[in-house]
Structure 1
């Protein structure tokens, strides 16, 4: 019987969210082909560009003028699916300074390497490369590329089936190759790594010990839920279906069915043992309709800034630039499209905000890609850029919150404050410059969402902290 986990997932999620429209807030631009966004346990975001460069986005969303890492001489990035593809910081990065990358080398093969940060926390030491793993790639596409540490401290590596189309050499179902697999290795013991003792195929002569799961076509981004450690894998389809797979924390050994199945649909069973009971099927899938064609996996939202989004898993379609979400009943909802150029990756900061990047602006020019923050469309910051004309201070605030308006064409008409469950707890009608303040002394300490209505019809949004 197909394993869909529907009942189990219904119990896991903490909030039952209905179909929820999301929007995006632009936070940075001037990037070139970003393919990964990571954090190192602090307020910075690290933006991976496929040419071989990693840049730092500071907490004020400015881009550091000096690159964190530049390994362009090592990276082959001409192909559409090749380049520097993944970044993962060691769980103990703050003390050991280790970070790991996944790139395609000049021979077209996958390399997993470890680097160390230099004495400057904003600069990685390019001379410290230690190669952990090399995987030969027979074709230029379906490289996977994402790497991430699980809550268990082990490094997980997503690899595609080796490319071409239809997995012509049946690699995804072949346990004696890393291609079309999820790997799990221990980078803290052994040289260059060791095999975790509870990997699911240890002792099975037909499957390599490093393998955690089989039957993947091209896993373009996977993520571990921050609260539970459960794993979601977005697997790019061939010509019909895009899929999201789910597995409980610590449970390995799944076979996701490719090339026997594409999603829940039979694809090609010729010459393979494609018994239905042997496979784990996706919890959600969508078809190639309305121009959709390639999934980009993301994250589940567990921040409190936008309560209506809590517990939703976000992903995107690269071809339509729509952002999708999956709720606790595994129903899919799409918002957008928002921009051109292809949604290439998602990222998570230390606070749990979700970010999304475009590969470019729809052109081939450099420095045209942007980073956006996912927000609740009903409380959307993108409806008006407050920072361009209104300074709000102090924040955190004890009693009076002031609004300093620098644009003479802007006037506030009303301010509303909402708590973390979306309840409106304070309203104020603002008339004239002399009343551009809000008394919040009656509000309990905590994080709140403030919605600002302007006389010109625009609406802005701001998170405030009351002490």
Structure 2
């Protein structure tokens, strides 16, 4: 599985192989033909504590240079860090990739410097990290006025100046590190001089120079004091080249330089003699550590041994946190986390070879995997990238002491690990998922705070060790102002054991907001049909719910195909393979919250009679294995029974058999009053033929509509076929036609591969109520 090498001589390879501090030999190919598609099977456990976030600052709206049509860059702004100016003033700095750098004084912002004004070739219009990437202040800024920035230039800028080291082939973007000297370090706006100290070009618009920073724990006289760290990505070409392992090339490394020295290649900075590869033939002395894809964010523990933690963004399978020491090799692209990486199978990894120890790679102290949804191509972005965080050592929240708080920058999940469990050479430290609350104690997700499924989350801290969260989606900064006990999970243990699919409409798919993430074992995206992300509305059926699904008939008087509904669909003979739990199953439960919001049943424009109505109102159900998008295996619905609309459970045991209906005796309008949230459940036991309905945790009296035994019950389960999908709010989730729309809202829909008993349903309803 060899990779293309470039800019490496045979002599270089010989020297590197012989040196004790050189990178290890290229790792062996996979020892097994069986890829590991789920490298970290365990999901993060819920944390015992939650963070209360208070809005701290709102930064101005900005645009890219040049303008872009990439929606990932079309954010309110692109702020990406907050830190304290090291001068005792209490001022904080915030860089915006689009150019401005702000200073905050008690949360009140003003522009300190705009890099667009100082480089005519400034570029931020393509690439997730392009633009004004970072700013950091010299530890003696109060005296010398020096600070440092990194920004991007495009192809015109590449042609205008010589790089510090030869650019990557066919470079399209270049990172420029600049030293600035302020005339007055205490001024609110910058005036002074600047000089360029480093420039290097990358072959793609990704993985350029990310963070640059000083070690804030270093003191005068320490080896690290006044040395500038630079996280240099692999330029997006580490997949098929050896550059992350090549000591003669900057890509895929962390550099450590002396900005006040002059023995670097261009005389604009120095190379510290204590760096691990100084003096090695054909090795860049600036290299502190190597073997990286996208070394996105690093930080130091303010206490203890001042360990350096790196949040490293992965390829297709996992995200990892490393504790980095001088001379480390993280293994990319021979290794992805604690696994062997093969570019031919990026969605899956391989186990280590038996002799892995001889390669000497450094492995993560914490990691989580992507688990891409079943119906999303694993070789496409599934909305995961690790946002490196901060070790909490503040005084305000002792409950957080020693926790490394980090997250996923795309979907905004926040995680926590314990630093005393993040040990090099040991197993992965357990990760917990942290709950978030607003000032009123209402539980929210970051997507709720920003109003967008793609959060673009970052972390920062101040000199007191207090924690901040930032989001590009709405350009806001929040401060952690309190810590409270986490609330119980929404789902009871009894339901969780059989929960195949669960859509609570709190989890938009970060890559495409018109899809909803599944919280059940099927991990199958739900399509929000015709209305897309507008169907996710601010409403909640129970305490803790912030969003609901809006369903409706859009044009009652016209035959069309624009009604708002939702569903999963795969019409081939194999059905939806991720729903195989419903294949030959003994029972099914369909339950969720419903609120009627309009006219039901809806007008039927295809009838040619303005007074005609559909004879059903679609709620939610699992389709049969031979369904055309309408026939079901288990359905909760309103349907006409003997000329009267009723709430029903309608099911089919055999794909080619008849259906049976269990209908509620009570008037459906009493069971589902207009404008009121009601929890409904329908259960189907295919081995006994028993069906049941529940409302707000209580059984609903009813009757069977079909005489005899339409299911042909013989003690065996349903047909041995996968369902062709799930339908919500109407038939035909493939959106081929309209039928039985629902003018309603739904919340927390659950599909179980068991006919739940009355106690299970009552307990789940009580959990929703917080009991």
- On whether the aligned pair clears a TM of 0.5, the verdict is yes
The equivalent of 2:93 in structure 1 is 46
Matches within 5 A, 1:194-209: 194-209=270-285
- Aligned mate of 1:95, from 136, 143, 151: 143
Question: By how many angstroms is 1:376 displaced?
Answer: 4.2
Do 1:255 and 1:280's aligned partners in 2 also have CA atoms closer than 8 Å?
yes
Supply the distance in 1 between the matched residues of 2:152 and 2:182 (Cα, whole angstroms).
Answer: 21
Greater relative CO (CA pairs within 8 A, separation 6+): 1
The equivalent of 2:124 in structure 1 is 77
The equivalent of 2:556 in structure 1 is none
Matches within 5 A, 1:141-220: 141-150=206-215, 151=218, 152-153=224-225, 154-164=227-237, 167-190=239-262, 191-220=267-296
The equivalent of 2:384 in structure 1 is 293
Aligned length: 347
Q: Which moved more, 1:350-359 or 1:237-246?
A: 350-359
- Aligned mate of 1:374, from 459, 480, 491: 480
The equivalent of 1:129 in structure 2 is 194
The equivalent of 2:466 in structure 1 is 353
The equivalent of 1:58 in structure 2 is 105
The equivalent of 2:405 in structure 1 is 314
Question: By how many angstroms is 1:178 displaced?
Answer: 0.8
Supply the distance in 2 between the matched residues of 1:36 and 1:128 (Cα, whole angstroms).
Answer: 24
Question: By how many angstroms is 1:117 displaced?
Answer: 2.1
- Aligned mate of 1:239, from 316, 322, 334: 316
Going from structure 1 to structure 2, the CA distance change for 1:262 and 1:280 (only over 3 Å counts) comes to same
The equivalent of 2:711 in structure 1 is none
Q: Give the match's secondary structure for 1:297.
A: strand
Supply the distance in 2 between the matched residues of 1:352 and 1:263 (Cα, whole angstroms).
Answer: 29
Going from structure 1 to structure 2, the CA distance change for 1:316 and 1:144 (only over 3 Å counts) comes to farther
Bigger Rg over Cα = 2
Supply the distance in 1 between the matched residues of 2:97 and 2:360 (Cα, whole angstroms).
Answer: 36
The equivalent of 1:37 in structure 2 is 82
Do 1:254 and 1:280's aligned partners in 2 also have CA atoms closer than 8 Å?
yes
The equivalent of 1:386 in structure 2 is none
Question: By how many angstroms is 1:289 displaced?
Answer: 2.8
1:114 and 2:186 correspond: no
Q: Give the match's secondary structure for 2:468.
A: strand
Supply the distance in 2 between the matched residues of 1:308 and 1:230 (Cα, whole angstroms).
Answer: 21
The equivalent of 1:266 in structure 2 is 340
Supply the distance in 2 between the matched residues of 1:282 and 1:187 (Cα, whole angstroms).
Answer: 30
Q: Give the match's secondary structure for 1:72.
A: helix
Going from structure 1 to structure 2, the CA distance change for 1:375 and 1:220 (only over 3 Å counts) comes to farther
Question: By how many angstroms is 1:264 displaced?
Answer: 1.0
Supply the distance in 1 between the matched residues of 2:356 and 2:193 (Cα, whole angstroms).
Answer: 47
Could you list the structure 1 runs, at least 4 aligned residues long, displaced by more than 4 angstroms after superposition: 273-276
Do 1:69 and 1:123's aligned partners in 2 also have CA atoms closer than 8 Å?
yes
Question: By how many angstroms is 1:355 displaced?
Answer: 1.1
Q: Give the match's secondary structure for 2:484.
A: helix
1:253 and 2:366 correspond: no
Supply the distance in 2 between the matched residues of 1:176 and 1:43 (Cα, whole angstroms).
Answer: 41
Do 2:180 and 2:193's aligned partners in 1 also have CA atoms closer than 8 Å?
yes
Do 2:49 and 2:484's aligned partners in 1 also have CA atoms closer than 8 Å?
no
Do 1:224 and 1:232's aligned partners in 2 also have CA atoms closer than 8 Å?
yes
Going from structure 1 to structure 2, the CA distance change for 1:379 and 1:129 (only over 3 Å counts) comes to farther
Root mean square deviation, CA, Å:
2.3
The equivalent of 1:404 in structure 2 is none
Going by fraction, where is strand more abundant, 1 or 2?
Answer: 1
1:225 and 2:301 correspond: yes
Question: By how many angstroms is 1:284 displaced?
Answer: 0.6
Question: By how many angstroms is 1:206 displaced?
Answer: 4.3
Q: Give the match's secondary structure for 1:360.
A: coil
Do 1:34 and 1:344's aligned partners in 2 also have CA atoms closer than 8 Å?
no
Q: Which moved more, 1:101-110 or 1:238-247?
A: 101-110
